[in-house]
Amino acid sequence: MERIDQIINCSNVELLKFKLHLNLNIHIRRLDNGDVLINSGDPFFGGIYRQQRMNNISIENRCPLDFPALYLNFKTKENHIYVYPSNNHNIIENKLTF
């Protein structure tokens, strides 16, 4: 499992490479309207992540970390990697190295 909302909101990273027992590349593209396109490359697998600021933040105190956490949870089975996006860090545990 990897938290990626901070990578999306506080950097200009466009490619994340994960090494499970298979390699997985996650492409990040920030759209003009504030949404984020996240996909795994050639065979398109992914979607658009629509971020919404937490309600209890005043306009004067806004920062890139005002969004709910976004985690990518990974589960491997044979030659497939299943990716489950979630706002909860307790969904699926799997060892991950960069």
What is the structure's pLDDT at 59? 56
What is the structure's pLDDT at 40? 82
What is the structure's pLDDT at 97? 40
11-52 residue pLDDT tens:
889 998 988 777 888 899 988 887 888 888 666 678 888 877
Q: Is residue 97 part of a domain?
A: no
Q: Is residue 35 part of a domain?
A: yes
Torsion of CA 41, 16, 34, 84, to 10 degrees: 70
What is the structure's pLDDT at 70? 84
What is the structure's pLDDT at 83? 79
Q: Is residue 18 part of a domain?
A: yes
Range of the domain at 72: 2-50+64-86
Q: Is residue 78 part of a domain?
A: yes
Number of domains observed in the structure of the chain = 1
Q: Is residue 40 part of a domain?
A: yes
